[in-house]
Amino acid sequence: MRSKSLRMSPFALKVIALVKKIPRGQVATYGQIARLAGKPHAARGVGWILLSCSESHDLPWQRVLNSQGKISFSPRTKEYAEQRKLLEKEGVRFLDRSTLDLEKYQWKKDVRPKHKPRGTPSLFS
């Protein structure tokens, strides 16, 4: 039996490509990746893509944080401990238990659109 290959949306492919570009020792936010991928209101979608594709696409998932510069996992989880450990190994230092300084560590990739988009953006394209 042949295995079915999954087709990924253009948005998912952009998210994967962008996450792979985040430099070691820097971070991006879910919203930043969503904006750069062309869907500014799809931060949760970025989270789902990371959850489902990080291992299969060898993504540096640990470099994506919430908009406050915090690890989104609960501090009591193994995922939290792993993300923090991976970031610290890259030289990232935390301000407190789960927050880092976005001014210092955020990837400076331009998040502003080069031109105004026309029409209403669709979450399904």
Q: Which spans in 23-110 are helix H?
A: 30-36, 43-53, 78-89, 102-105
Q: Residue 97: its pLDDT value, please?
A: 84
Q: Residue 1: its pLDDT value, please?
A: 42
Using alpha carbons, select from 33, 42, 95, 39 the residue that is nearest to residue 65.
33
Contacts for 27 with CB less than 8 Å, ≥ 6 apart: 63, 64, 65, 69, 87, 92, 100, 102, 105, 106, 107
Q: Residue 115: its pLDDT value, please?
A: 52
Asked if 64 and 30 touch (Cβ cutoff 8 Å), the reply is yes
pLDDT in tens, the chain (125 residues): 444 456 889 999 999 999 999 999 999 999 999 999 999 999 999 999 999 999 999 999 999 999 999 999 999 999 999 999 999 999 999 998 889 999 999 999 764 555 555 555 555 54
